[in-house]
Amino acid sequence: MLSKADIKYIKSLQIKKYRKQEQCFVVEGAKTVQELLQSDFVVKKVIGTNEFLSKNPVADRTEVVEVSEKVLEGIGEFQSNNAVIAIAEMRSNKKVEINADEFALVLDDIRDPGNLGTIIRTADWYGIQHIIASEETADFYNPKVISATMGSFTRVQIFYTDLVSYLRPYQQPIFGAFLEGKNIHEVKFGSGGLIVIGNESRGISDAVKQFVTDKITIPRFGQAESLNAAIATAVICDNVRRSR
């Protein structure tokens, strides 16, 4: 049975301040929790319906609470979730090592959680395992981010840091999209480097722009002024993979 304190605790984890304090986050929905259970995240508690728990026996590795669908709908961020909620430990924010033959993303203030989640899912599709994010970027453990990743949060690692300090000593190519850049259909991306994705409204900041070694452009054939940040990420990743 779920206590009032449990419910209060789960709800508190929707807020970044409490996630940081508790170093825990919430994962919702059958498919995403299944991905969580298959990952190396430490799972503290699984709160599921009888149907979910009978198909996904996890009592040997974590605390389990059985609840009704109605109770579940009341405690999560998403009302459409009628199967399971899990509480897991956050990973520590440690510097990710980028190999010379690897592409990684740099997020320069991606503020929308849906965009961040979609970027993580897209990165996972294109085999990109590491993301370096500015401290203003949306929180990886925000329930909206976790949900939009569709399970890819278990396979992509993020490191929040000051981008200027991170980029200054970096020796490989740093790609960034600008209107005056080289057409990505013609760019040779080589075997590794960083791809900077700019903020939804203002693009790549001046502070980060100075470190971009290769300005690139997604060619436009119509009249939209810009592309959504997650869309731009996908188109660039597809071209990177194609040119390798």
Q: Which residues bind a second copy (CB under 8 A)?
A: 114, 118, 121-129, 148, 150-152, 155, 185, 218-228, 230-231, 234-235, 238-239, 241-242
Nearer to a second copy by Cβ, of 65 and 218: the residue is 218
User: Which residue carries 């939804």 as its tokens?
Assistant: 200
Structure tokens at 232: 């731009």
Phi then psi for residue 73, to 5 deg, are -60, -25
Nearer to a second copy by Cβ, of 13 and 29: the residue is 29
Query: Judging by DSSP bridges, how do beta strands 130-133 and 157-160 pair with one another?
Result: parallel
Nearer to a second copy by Cβ, of 19 and 130: the residue is 130
**Strand locations in 184-241 (E):** 193-197, 214-217
- The 10 Å Cβ neighbour count of residue 96 is 15
CB of 241 to a second copy, least distance (A): 6
Q: Which of 213, 196, 214 is nearest to 205 (CA)?
A: 196
Distances (CA, A) of 196 to 134, 163, 175: 11, 10, 6
CB of 156 to a second copy, least distance (A): 9
CB of 235 to a second copy, least distance (A): 5
CB of 89 to a second copy, least distance (A): 22
Question: What is the C-alpha to C-alpha distance for residues 218 and 239, in angstroms, rounded to an integer?
Answer: 10
Nearer to a second copy by Cβ, of 162 and 186: the residue is 186
CB of 64 to a second copy, least distance (A): 26
Nearer to a second copy by Cβ, of 64 and 227: the residue is 227
Host H or E run for residue 71: helix 69-75
Nearer to a second copy by Cβ, of 151 and 198: the residue is 151
Question: What is the C-alpha to C-alpha distance for residues 46 and 72, in angstroms, rounded to an integer?
Answer: 11
Whole-angstrom distance between the N-terminal and C-terminal Cα of the chain? 54
CB of 237 to a second copy, least distance (A): 9
